């Protein structure tokens, strides 16, 4: 009957809408951040001090092998080996980060801050250049907030059972003696490109796709031009990965070489 036909048509239309929504959802999920560029940190003094005051917070501590400062997060779809060209990141020069003071985000995340100085300018410049280059090519993921380097040492979300034990916030009194304390210098030994999703390594650190060992005894720090050149090379490699993935997806969807070339114009 005409009524049944109308119902079938409405049903078909709803099915198509759901299908499009499913595709959009899958696309969003496929573009979620899965890699991040970071600087590993080995300082453990603050964690030890807090645990002496409140041992129950042990499960909320960030595992020492995973301590790091995140420079940026990104989505790289291709599962091949990632090989960004970072060989001249600091031109063989040392970058020393002095950690000072301890604070929190909503009393749920506790972190150690970074003291001000020329080192901060170098770190800010590096992070900003990387972010801008990745963003230009649509590879940057995240909420776009400004770079605020911090070393997270504790997250209550890591230990949900603490809430049932009456611990809903980390009392700042636990680390009040350390709010202005200088915790020492951390020489940046390497910069890593890590996976968020792959299984952690045997040493407990994130799966590292590529790592640049840093070092050198020259006291001068890299200038803007040097950082710009290196960040450009890093992003070029990331763009190549994205293009390779695009070609693969085009061919898998039935597009030929001509269709692929047209899509990349």
Q: What pLDDT is stored for residue 80 in this prediction?
A: 37
Q: What pLDDT is stored for residue 208 in this prediction?
A: 86
Q: What is the pLDDT along the chain (265 residues), one digit of tens a residue?
A: 555 555 455 555 444 455 666 655 555 555 677 888 888 887 677 667 766 766 777 888 888 788 889 888 887 754 332 333 333 434 455 778 888 888 888 888 888 889 888 888 888 877 776 677 667 666 665 555 678 888 888 888 888 788 778 788 888 888 888 888 887 788 877 778 788 888 999 988 899 877 766 555 444 455 555 556 555 656 666 666 666 666 666 666 655 444 433 433 3
Q: Tokens at residue 247, please? A: 């070609």
Q: What pLDDT is stored for residue 174 in this prediction?
A: 81
**The pTM of the whole model exceeds 0.85:** no
List of residues 6+ apart from 247 with CB closer than 8 A: 260, 264
**CB contact at 8 A, 231 and 250:** no
List of residues 6+ apart from 35 with CB closer than 8 A: 73, 74, 75, 76, 82, 193, 194, 195, 196, 209
Listed by start position, the domains of the chain span: 26-263
What's the CATH fold of domain 26-263?
Answer: Cyclic Phosphodiesterase; Chain: A, (3.90.1140)
């Amino acid at each position: 009957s005409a009524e049944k036909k109308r119902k079938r048509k409405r049903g078909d239309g709803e099915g198509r809408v759901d299908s499009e929504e499913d595709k959009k959802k899958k696309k969003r999920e496929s573009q979620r951040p899965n890699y991040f560029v970071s600087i590993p940190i080995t300082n453990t003094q603050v964690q030890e001090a807090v645990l002496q005051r409140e041992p129950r917070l042990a499960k909320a501590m960030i595992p020492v092998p995973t301590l790091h400062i995140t420079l940026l997060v990104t989505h790289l779809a291709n599962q091949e080996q990632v090989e960004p060209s970072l060989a001249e990141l600091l031109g063989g020069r040392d970058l020393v980060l002095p950690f000072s003071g301890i604070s929190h985000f909503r009393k749920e995340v506790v972190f150690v801050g970074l003291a001000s100085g020329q080192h901060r300018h170098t770190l800010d410049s590096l992070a900003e250049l990387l972010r801008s280059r990745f963003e230009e090519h649509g590879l940057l993921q995240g909420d776009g907030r400004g770079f605020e380097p911090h070393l997270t040492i504790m997250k209550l979300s890591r230990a949900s059972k603490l809430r049932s034990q009456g611990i809903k916030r980390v009392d700042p009194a636990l680390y009040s003696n350390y709010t202005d304390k200088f915790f020492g210098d951390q020489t940046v030994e390497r910069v890593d490109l890590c996976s968020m999703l792959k299984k952690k390594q045997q040493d407990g650190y994130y799966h590292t796709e590529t790592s640049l060992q840093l070092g050198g005894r020259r006291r001068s720090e890299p200038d803007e031009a040097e950082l710009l050149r290196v960040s450009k090379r890093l992003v070029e490699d990331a763009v190549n990965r994205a293009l390779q993935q695009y070609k693969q997806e085009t061919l898998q969807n039935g597009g030929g070489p001509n269709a692929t070339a047209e899509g990349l114009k």
